[in-house]
A and B are shown apart, each in its own frame.
Chain A
C-alpha cells in the first residue's frame, strides 16, 4: 500500500498567520492518464470530512481562496494564507491513484 506521511501532526497557528502542511507519498502519485490524484480534506470538530483540494491544486466549489495546494510526484503541500478561527480541525491528505486508497495520519490545526 502507498504510505502517506504528513507533517507536522500538530500545528498551532496565530489567527491571521499562514500555515503549511506537508504530505509525502511512498511512491509517485502520477497516474497513467497523466493526472496526479492527491486530495486534501478538512474535518472540523464533530463534522464529516470535506474535500478542499483535488488533483493537487484544484479548489473545490465554495472553498475559500486562502487555501491552496501544490506539489508533484511524491511531495505535496497545503497552504492557508491567513488562518481564520473556522479553519480549526484536522487536515488529511489522501491519494486516489492506487488501490487501496490511503490517507495521511492527519494534522491537527489549532489556534495559538
Chain B
C-alpha cells in the first residue's frame, strides 16, 4: 500500500525556518518524481515545488523561489522541503504528492507562521 507521511510542521515566527519531511513507503520511491503542494486555510491548492526521481532537477513556484529548497534521499525513501524566510502568507497545510499528476497524497502537515 502506498503511503506518504509528512512531518515537521509547527508554529514559527516570520523570518524563521522549518524543515518538512515526507516518508514514503509501499512503492519504489526512486522511480518517481515528487511534489509539494500547499493549501492555505480555507483556500485552494497551490503547487510549490517538484524534484525529479534521481534528484537531479528541481523546480519551484515563483512564490517560494529562493526561500524554499526541495531535496530527497532515495536511500531513506524520504522527501524534504526546507522552508526559509517564512512569511505569514506561507501559513498552510503542506502535502507531498507522488508523480507529476499526484496519484497519491500524504495527510499533510500544518505550518503556521505568526508572531
Counted as pairs of residues, one from A and one from B, with CB atoms less than 8 Å apart, the total is 50
| Measured CA separation A39–B107 after assembly (Å) | 19
In which size bucket is the chain B interface? Answer: 10 to 19
Contact B47 A102 (CB under 8 A): yes
Contact B95 A39 (CB under 8 A): no
Nearest neighbor of A96 in chain B, beta-carbon distance: B101
Contact B95 A49 (CB under 8 A): yes
Contact B44 A100 (CB under 8 A): no
Nearest neighbor of B100 in chain A, beta-carbon distance: A96
Q: Name B55-102 residues within 8 Å CB distance of A.
A: 59, 61, 95, 100-102
Nearest neighbor of A103 in chain B, beta-carbon distance: B45
**Contact code string B34-50 (vs A, CB < 8 Å = 1, else 0):** 01000000001111001
16 A-B pairs whose Cβ atoms sit less than 8 Å apart in the complex: A37-B101, A39-B102, A48-B108, A49-B95, A51-B103, A51-B104, A54-B101, A92-B44, A92-B45, A94-B101, A94-B102, A96-B101, A96-B102, A99-B59, A100-B47, A101-B100
Q: Contacts A49-B95, A92-B45, A100-B61 given; indicate if A41 touches B106 (C-beta within 8 A).
A: no
In which size bucket is the chain A interface? Answer: 20 to 34
Q: Name A81-106 residues within 8 Å CB distance of B.
A: 92, 94, 96, 99-106
Contact A103 B44 (CB under 8 A): yes
Contact A39 B59 (CB under 8 A): no
- Within 8 Å by CB of A48, from B50, B61, B101, B107, lies B107
